[in-house]
């Protein structure tokens, strides 16, 4: 019982000190898709989650800044190393 009480006390105290640790952002519903696969395709490159199988709802995080994904087609292969190869941008 003491362990359980100390665990609850520690969690509550850490919430009072740093509430941002317990915040996962604000997600708002953006669209509804017929299947989970369609939803996952639509969320590509976004800070978003899909909920449900059929229909699947797409929720987008309003607070997060979305970093653009690495574009592989922007690289040009240049021979320079036998093991790793070389790329320049």
pLDDT in tens, 61-71: 877 555 556 56
Query: What is the pTM for the complete model shown?
Result: 0.45
pLDDT in tens, 37-49: 888 888 888 888 8
pLDDT in tens, 8-29: 999 888 888 877 776 666 788 8
The contacts found for 2-11 with CB under 8 angstroms, 24 or more apart, are: none
Q: Are 56 and 38 in contact (CB under 8 A)?
A: yes
């Amino acid at each position: 019982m003491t362990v359980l009480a100390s665990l609850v006390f520690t969690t509550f105290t850490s919430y009072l000190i740093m509430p941002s640790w317990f915040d996962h952002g604000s997600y708002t519903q953006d669209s509804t898709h017929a299947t989970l696969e369609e939803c996952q395709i639509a969320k590509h490159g976004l800070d978003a989650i899909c909920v449900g199988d059929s229909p699947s709802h797409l929720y987008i995080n309003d607070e997060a800044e979305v970093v653009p994904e690495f574009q592989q087609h922007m690289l040009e292969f240049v021979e320079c190393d036998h093991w790793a190869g070389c790329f320049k941008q």
